Amino acid sequence: MPWLSYRKALNRALAGELAGDPDVFVLGEDVRVAVSTVTAGLAGRFGSGRVLDTPLSEQAFTSFATGAALAGLRPVIEFQIPSLLFLVFEQIANQAHKFSLMTGGQCSVPVTYLVPGSGSRTGWAGQHSDHPYSLFAHVGVKTVVPASPTDAYGLLSTAIRDDDPVVVFAPAGALAVRENVDFAELAAVPLGVGRVRREGDDVTVVAIGHLVWDALAVADEMAGEASVEVFDPRTLYPFDWDGLAVSVAKTGRLVVIDDSNRSCGIGAEILATAAEWFGLPAAPARVTRPDGAVLPYAAELDRAVQPSRAQLVSAIQRVLNDGGSHAR
């Protein structure tokens, strides 16, 4: 079977949706030459009328997409830099997201916001290294963070077909992932359905985006001392609470690894929900970026601020050693 890279998966999903639905179009900066490589070949195949290079006017082209969606099209915007989402937060959170409710359901805004290369790309420093998925989950914009090429394909396809705005974060830390897949079996993945990446009995680790691969590596490392289940939510909003509940009901323990800043990050929400609903016998733990983190430039400093495997090992050990008496 052929190898599918993460970027190629995004590219295949875009091409598939462009081919399948004449209302779909792509816009963004440098998308015709495909600086991010995600839009490679699309302008040649579908024409510059459906693959639009925009001026550096993020706020205007984000609302331009809202308007186009209100008129019946399905725009996909590529943002080269995750921190640009701060610049267009008004256009997404306060405009696109609110139109359906504010108009009493007269319209829909099927726009997909694709961020290929979210989070740290090592050495891109303070204004190119954010991972602001928790913000969108907080305001209620549908938010997906695929960890693997097949999920990237499946979730981007679903996002484009969805009638609401959806933000697709493709973590920089996952872009190098490749999978050996049968292309004929690539399929849409529904929003709000998580996936157990590795089964285990002692502790559930919820890992988001590229951190899924770190969690799986840690689970391997710790195989001698603990049986770790790795739960990949894939969609952060809507979150698969039922799927997580099943996992935690089995393991009784919970650790979250989340590339958000600590306060009000999705990890905080997962722990809060677990505290309310899951009846955990042991205190849960989370590994996140520090409170209020800004990613510093130097490689050592950049890494120091991101969640690490060592921190995850410690967190798992702490949770396993908690005084609770979970009986299996």
Partner 1 sequence: MSTSCDLYRTVRLIRRFEERAIELVHSGVIIGGIHPYIGQEAVAAGVCAALRDGDIITSTHRGHGHVLARRADPARMLAELAGRSTGLNKGRGGSMHAADFSLGIFGANAIVGANGAITVGAVWAARRQAGEEGGPVGVSFFGDGAVNQGVLLEAMNLAALWRVPVLFVCENNGYATSLTVEDAVAGTITGRAEAFGMPAVTVDGADPQAVLDAADAAVLRARADGEPSLIECRTYRFDAHHTWEHGSRVRYRDEAEVALARTRDPVEIQGSRLSGVDRMAIDAEIEALLDCAVEFAVGSPRPDPAGALDHLYATGMRGRSGSG
Contact footprint for partner 1 (CB under 8 A)? 49, 54-55, 57, 59-73, 75, 90-91, 94-95, 99-110, 140, 142, 162-164, 237-238, 241
**298 φ/ψ angles, rounded to the nearest 5 degrees:** -55, 145
Cβ within 8 Å of residue 210, ≥6 positions away:
119, 147, 171, 172, 173, 174, 177, 259
From the centroid of its chain, how far is CA 24? 22
Residue with Cβ nearer partner 1 (2 or 20): 20
Q: Kindly state the DSSP code that residue 282 receives in the 8-state scheme.
A: S
Q: Nearest approach, Cβ of 130 to partner 1 (angstroms)? A: 21
Give the residue among 286, 287, 195 at the shortest CA–CA distance from 240: 195
Residue with Cβ nearer partner 1 (71 or 184): 71
From the centroid of its chain, how far is CA 199? 22
Q: Nearest approach, Cβ of 138 to partner 1 (angstroms)? A: 11
Alpha helices in 84-226 (DSSP H): 84-87, 89, 99-102, 133-139, 149-161, 211-221
Q: Nearest approach, Cβ of 1 to partner 1 (angstroms)? A: 34
Q: Nearest approach, Cβ of 146 to partner 1 (angstroms)? A: 19
Instruction: Please pick, among 128, 138, 210, 326, the residue that the annotation labels catalytic.
Output: 128
Residue with Cβ nearer partner 1 (90 or 220): 90
Q: Nearest approach, Cβ of 77 to partner 1 (angstroms)? A: 11
Residue with Cβ nearer partner 1 (71 or 327): 71
CB 68 within 8 A of CB 42: no
Q: Establish whether 326 is a catalytic residue.
A: no
Q: What order of strands is seen across the sheet that includes strand 254-261?
A: 195-198, 228-232, 203-207, 254-261, 285-289
Residue with Cβ nearer partner 1 (48 or 127): 48
Q: Nearest approach, Cβ of 200 to partner 1 (angstroms)? A: 27
Beta strands in 74-181 (DSSP E): 74-78, 112-118, 142-144, 166-171, 178-180
Residue with Cβ nearer partner 1 (87 or 176): 87
Kind plus residue range of the DSSP H or E element containing 274: helix 266-277
CA atoms within 13 A on the CB side of 275: 10
Q: Active-site residue numbers?
A: 128
